[in-house]
Amino acid sequence: MSATDNTTPPVDESGNNIDQLRARIDAKYYTTSKEKPTPMSREAFHGLTGKVVKIVSPVTEACAEALLVQLLVCLGNAIGREPWFNQADYHHTDEYMVLVGETGAGRKGTSLRAIRGLLKEIDPEWDKNCVHKGIQTGEALISAIRDDKTITDKKGKPCPISGEVPTMVQKVWAISGC
C-alpha cells in the first residue's frame, strides 16, 4: 500500500490503530447511561446542614446531595477564611465544588437558588457582594475578576486598560472568602 492510500487506518508511533484506541477510551470513560448515581448515605445529612436540607428538599426539584453541597460551600463562603481549626493542618471554611448534570435538566441552578434564597435572608450583603451571576465561560470569569484600570494619556484623555493575570489570581482567592 502507498503512503497516500486512504484505506490504511491511522496509527500512533507504536503502531496501534488510533481509531481502536479512541473506541476503547470512549467505552471506558464516557457513558450514555441515564442511570442515576448512588445517593449519599443518610449519615452525610447530619447536624444543622442535614436539618436544613431536610426542610428545603420537599419544596424544590433539586436533589438533596446538590442542596447539601451548595449549602456547605455557600456557608463557607459567607463565613470567610478567618475561622479555622487545626487537625494536622489548618482547615478553613472555604470549600470548592463542581456540580455536573445535563444542561437545563440537571437542576444545578435550582439547588443554588434554593440555598441562596435562604442565605439571602440571613445575610443580604453576602448575596449582593459575593455572588457573581452569569459566569459560564473562562472569558466571563476573567471579566468578573480583572482589575479595570484607567490611565490618562498626555492629552488628559482617560484610557481604560485590563487587569493583569497575577492580580486576577489574587482576586480569585479573595472571591472565595469574600
pLDDT tens readout for residues 15-36: 888 888 888 887 777 766 667 7
Domain boundaries, the chain: 1-30, 38-131, 136-178
**40 in Cβ contact with 72 (< 8 Å):** no
- pLDDT digits over 40-63, tens only? 999 999 999 999 999 999 999 888
Cell of residue 27, nine digits = 467505552
**69 in Cβ contact with 97 (< 8 Å):** yes
- Cβ burial of 175 (10 Å; 0-12, 13-18, 19+) is middle
The string over 89-111, giving b where at least 16 C-beta atoms fall within 10 Å of a residue's C-beta and e elsewhere, is eeeebbeeeebeeeeeeebbebb
How far apart, in whole angstroms, are the C-alpha atoms of residue 157 and residue 160?
Answer: 10
- Bridge partners of 159? 151
How far apart, in whole angstroms, are the C-alpha atoms of residue 158 and residue 163?
Answer: 16
**18 in Cβ contact with 9 (< 8 Å):** yes
Q: How many alpha carbons fall within 13 Å on the CB side of residue 162?
A: 10
**149 in Cβ contact with 142 (< 8 Å):** no
Q: Could you tell me where the beta strands, DSSP code E, fall in the chain?
A: 84-86, 90-92, 149-152, 158-161
- pLDDT digits over 114-167, tens only? 999 999 999 999 888 888 777 777 777 777 777 666 667 778 887 766 555 445
- pLDDT digits over 69-120, tens only? 999 999 998 888 889 888 889 888 888 888 877 777 667 888 989 999 999 9
What is the DSSP-derived secondary structure letter of residue 155? T
